[in-house]
Structure 1
Amino acid sequence: MSRSLPRFALPFVALSLLAACGDSPETLLGKAQDSLAREDFDQARVEVASALQEDPGNAAMLEVLARAYLGLGDPDGAEGALRRLEQAGGTGSGLSVLKAEIALLRGRPAEALERLGTAEGEDAARVRAEANLALDRREAAIAAFEAGMEQGGGIRLAEAYARFRLQDGQFDAAEAIYRRMVARDAGAYETLVLAGDLAAARGQTDAAIAAFRKVVEAYPDRPAPRVALANQYDIKGDVDAATKAIETARKDLGATPEIEAMRIQLLSEKGEWEAIRTTLQAREAQLEPGSPLSLSYGEALLRLGHAEQARVIFQRASLALPGNPYSRLMLGIAQIETDNPGDAWETLRPLAMSPLAGPQAINAARQAADAVGAPEAAALAARLDPARLKAAQARIEDGARAMARQEWAKAVAIYQPMLSGAGDAEVLRRLALAHMHMGEVESAVGYADRAMAQAPDNPDCIYVAGLVRLEGGMQLEKARQLLRMAAKADPGNAAISRSLAKAKAAEG
């Protein structure tokens, strides 16, 4: 979760004047250093800027100003402060680290490493690790993280390392780093947020809600934890609580992009289609095909009777996201509504025949099958029997829960009986992941290859076929080839990008 500034802030000059009232430059510097330590970067910037009005060539103040700008993600501001610092006679390895972090913020990791040189310390270790990650040098990044942790493990370094482990699915390792963060500063924003993210990653929804509520109480001006809280309420199934949380965030902080995205998602779940259409209509041309906002807008149009317009949106989404079941379902329904039952049956058949299909997919496919006289119509109708449907959906939920909680043996016990014939691509994909985590590499590869055979254009299936080979340490060249294919098919997928980076690092 990224840091964010308060939406409603007084103008900078006004804040500077307020900060300066009655305080000496030395006092303001001390306050700015305290704010910097709390990672309240905007407040630190205001305080030290006020101090600099009285002492514009103070090197200590200029260094605080540069660090505040870096914390705010502003490389231009940081570079300006650094230039003034050098003119004031500032020297030392600290300048190298500042220059390296500016280069990293500008997307130039190789330059960041060059500027770091042999600089040591927690900040140097963090920048070195993040630069190596940006260059796909996984082992070098780990070495830098470990070196920084040995030197004391500051909050920013520890958070970056914990997130690296968390993204890799190494929950216990991330938890161990989190415990060190708690010991160092239990009330830090990063520490509190990581507690929520760890609980969420483990499927511990109530614990995640409690953690994110603490973040919101401690840092009410940050949108990200507000959205995370609403999302966890939504995962729990309490849409009213999620809506209340996001509407409160919207009232307090305004309609930031992340708050609006969550709001639209909740409106969709509640079926408030006219509100979605009204909100997004003016932005239709800017909505990226396959994006969550685009999909919500398409469904709103479909539900409001604009089926042809919705069909176009979902056709584009299905091309952008060939493995996305929701976009295929909505495309199939739109095709039914535009009197194209043959196209609808072709779209919906593979989705509905899956043992993981939900009632909406099954019913839509049944309508299309009836319209074209497909023999599968009777079997689909039978699956809609209330008792049979309830039992099937319970199994689906149990399987998803087992995967989320990393209960791999339980997941295998649930999904294995779902296989029949050539098998379903998604069931096979999940079995591949479960066997991979159980250390059964050959079984994992077998299931992954069967999944890819069933859905050769699905980026998720291609990805898992590469992932199980990579994690199992076998057929590494094949793993790299598959991961490159998956990354090309889904270039915005962070998990695929991380695994491809790991595979490239293993190449050397």
Structure 2
Amino acid sequence: MRIPFPFIPPLLALCALSGCGDSPETLFAKAQEDFSAEDYKAARSQLIAALDEQPGNHRMLILLARTQLQLGDPDGAENVLGRLDRAGAKGPEVQRIRARVALMRKAPDKALALMGNDDTLEALRIRADAYLALGDDGKAKAAFERGMAKGDDPDLAGAYARFALAQNDLVLADRIRQRLQRMAPNSFETQVLAGDIAAARGQVDKAIAAYRAVVAAFPDRVEPLLALANQLDAKGQVDEAAKQVDAAAKLDPDNAEAEDLKYQLLAEKGEWEKIRVGLQGREADLDPSSGLGMRYGEALLRLGFSEQARMLFKRATLLLPGNPYSRMMLGEAQLACGDPDDAWATLRPLAMSPLARPEMLVAAEKAARASGAPEADGLRERLDPARLKALGALLARGDTAVMRQDWAAVLDVYGRMLGDGSDPEVLKRMALGSSGLGRTAQAIGYADRALALAPDSPDFQFLAGHVRLQGGQDLATARRLLESAAAGDPGNPVIASDLRKAKAATG
């Protein structure tokens, strides 16, 4: 049989990929180049091959441990630390690797202890991350600032920019990004930060352009593909967003974010049967309050499985009582099941809010009409196209103001909707706007009024605790409120972060 191309035996092919035949020194040099180029998988392969020849080489082992950390593998890094111990390696560099493993193991106190008096840039980055894990933003920021003053370190600068983004300090985040651009213009973090900051500012087109550039430069990374998909979705380019999600899923078939976004886009396109078929085999394991669970519930509702949908959304509202989407879906399912009175009771509180979106008003008007509620005519009037257009413009302005942290505009927009102050969602936005402008007493007043209207809501418990914590007032009460919010919504990372800060502030 004629072979139309040169035959390469499998073993030789493997050697060609891993560098068989190269000296350990050549392999190590290649690994250093791969590490600098952020190709950590290639670096690991080169290092493993080099260490086969020189198993006790300290420099190779240290770079392998750092590579494992960059790949998010604390087990692998810890294994290498054991080899370093057996090889007799000591010193601050090994301690810093131990500290980074401790951080990944959620042991920030241990990481701080391991740093001792180490004042290098990497040690300052580790300290900052440890203080963040402990909820002490003040000490974290001080460590970041000391590091930035001490010298240029792309890892520290990137982490500080992420801290600033998490704090919604977009001016600081962009200032750090500009410095990072001078340090490492081609690094992944430098390039993706440009997109993240633009996205945080609501600059969709600019974010899309930035993420496209990152995808082109780093085609094997999942994160920019998903970030690009989210921005394309925000612009209404659902099919193009779906292409990016498909590409991400090919790179990482088990990526939960890619799966969530896939089904979100299918829902936006109304492809309910695809959602039902894709998720029905996992129904027993789906959390009804998760994104996937609620997409599945809506698919069942749209396909006529009303009773099953009602059961799922009833469970979802018990788990997330403040979620308007799950309550709207529950109301629609109740109406589809022939229970207009229950549907109106579910939808009425949401529909009476001045923030009610058109889809909520449509569902509520149907329920009110079917149950004979006198509010039906008023809801029909609110669905007048001219009124909806004016409301939509005002809500869009409010959403943009919140996203851009234009707190004066937030107070202006939602102050127009405040009325008698009986809507907790409007009060929530007034509290956030007041807090953003440093008007802590006013923010606490709005937050407490919102909490009085929904005392069992983790969302409003968090709000009342958050504005106190932000303003540095009544910290004992802030901690108590945040503890209640965390108990009611234990998986919420934002609540957990504020609770750590409150505990650090109150001792």
TM over 0.5: yes
CA shift digits 1:22-75 (9 cap, x unpaired):
532112111212222333221111111111122222111111111111111222
Matched, 1:432 2:431: yes
Contact persistence 2:421–2:427 (CA under 8 A): no
Select between 12-21 and 395-404 the one with higher mean Cα deviation: 12-21
Q: Is the 8 A contact 1:323 1:457 kept in 2?
A: no
| Number of equivalent positions | 498
Q: What is the alpha-carbon distance in structure 2 between the residues aligned to residue 477 and residue 352 of structure 1?
A: 36
**Cross-structure match for 1:497:** 496
* Structure 2 CA distance for partners of 1:391 and 1:497, relative to 1, 3 Å: same
Tell me how far apart the structure 2 counterparts of residues 423 and 182 of structure 1 sit (CA, whole Å): 48
Mapped to 1, the partners of 2:12 and 2:338 lie a distance apart of 62
Tell me, in whole angstroms, the C-alpha distance in 2 between the residues paired with 1:406 and 1:156. 27
**2:5 is matched with which residue?**
none
Equivalent in the alignment of 1:103: 102
Aligned partner of 1:242 in structure 2 is: 241
Amino acid paired to 2:332: I
Mean Cα deviation higher: 424-433 or 241-250: 241-250
Residue 99 of structure 1 and its aligned partner are, at CA, apart by 1.4
Describe the SS at the equivalent of 1:418: coil
Whole-Å Cα distance in 2 between the matches of residues 118 and 388 of structure 1?
64
Of all paired residues, the percent bearing the same amino acid is: 53
Task: Map residues 354-433 of structure 1 onto 2, 5 A cutoff.
Answer: 354-433=353-432
Query: Is the 8 Å Cα contact of residues 138 and 501 (structure 1) preserved in structure 2?
Result: no
Aligned residue type for 2:271 = E
CA contact (8 A) 2:181 2:190 kept: yes
TM-score normalised to structure 1 length:
0.93
Task: Sort the Cα spacing of 1:253 and 1:107 in 2 relative to 1 into closer, same or farther, 3 A.
Answer: closer
For the 8 Å contact 1:318–1:324, the answer to whether it is kept is: yes
Change beyond 3 A, Cα 1:405–1:16: farther
Identify the residue that residue 32 of structure 2 maps to in structure 1.
33
C-alpha distance in structure 2 between counterparts of 1:102 and 1:16, whole Å: 31
| Aligned mates of 1:265, 1:15 — CA distance in 2 | 40
Q: Distance in 1 between matches of 2:72 and 2:324?
A: 37
Q: Which residue of 2 aligns with 1:121?
A: 120
After TM superposition, the structure 1 = structure 2 runs for residues 441-460 of structure 1, keeping only pairs within 5 Å, are: 441-460=440-459
Task: Name the residue aligned to 2:49.
Answer: 50
Whether the 8 Å CA contact 1:229–1:245 is kept in 2: the answer is: yes
Task: Please give the alpha-carbon distance, in whole angstroms, between the structure 2 residues aligned to 1:77 and 1:388.
Answer: 60
Q: SS of 2:505's equivalent?
A: helix
> Contact (CA 8 Å) 2:414, 2:426: kept in 1 or not?
yes
- 1:76-114 per-residue CA deviation (whole Å, 9 max, x = no partner) reads 221222222232232211111111222222222222222
Structure 2: distance between partners of 1:12 and 1:70: 29
Aligned-partner residue type, residue 420 of structure 1 = G
Q: Which residue of structure 2 lines up, in the alignment, with residue 261 of structure 1?
A: 260
For the residues of structure 1 that align with 2:482 and 2:164, how far apart are their CA atoms? Answer: 20
Which residue is 1:5 aligned to?
none
Matched, 1:18 2:17: yes
Shift of 1:251: 4.8
Contact 2:368/2:375 (<8 A) preserved: yes
Measured after TM superposition, the shift of residue 430 of structure 1 is 0.7
* Counterpart secondary structure, 1:210: helix
Letter in 1 for 2:231: Q
Instruction: Return closer, same or farther for 1:507/1:252 CA change in 2, 3 Å cut-off.
Output: closer
**What residue in structure 2 maps to residue 351 of structure 1?**
350
- Quick one: distance in 1 between partners of 2:409 and 2:14? 57
Q: How high is the TM-score relative to the length of structure 2?
A: 0.93
Per-residue deviation at 1:16?
Answer: 6.0
Deviation at 1:307, TM superposition (A): 0.8
Q: Is the 8 A contact 1:459 1:489 kept in 2?
A: yes
Contact 2:135 2:498 in 1 (8 A): no
Unpaired runs of 5+ in structure 2? Answer: 1-9
* Alpha-carbon distance in 2 for matches of 1:296, 1:12: 47
Paired with 2:11 and 2:389, the residues of 1 have a C-alpha distance of 59
Q: Which moved more, 1:226-235 or 1:354-363?
A: 354-363
Q: Who is 1:330 aligned against?
A: 329
Distance (whole Å) between structure 2 residues aligned to residue 438 and residue 12 of structure 1: 66
Query: In the alignment, residue 391 of structure 1 is paired with which amino acid?
Result: A
Distance in 2 separating the partners of 1:423 and 1:153: 52
Question: 2:134 touches 2:501 (CA, 8 Å); kept in 1?
Answer: no
Structure 1 residue 310: Cα displacement: 0.8
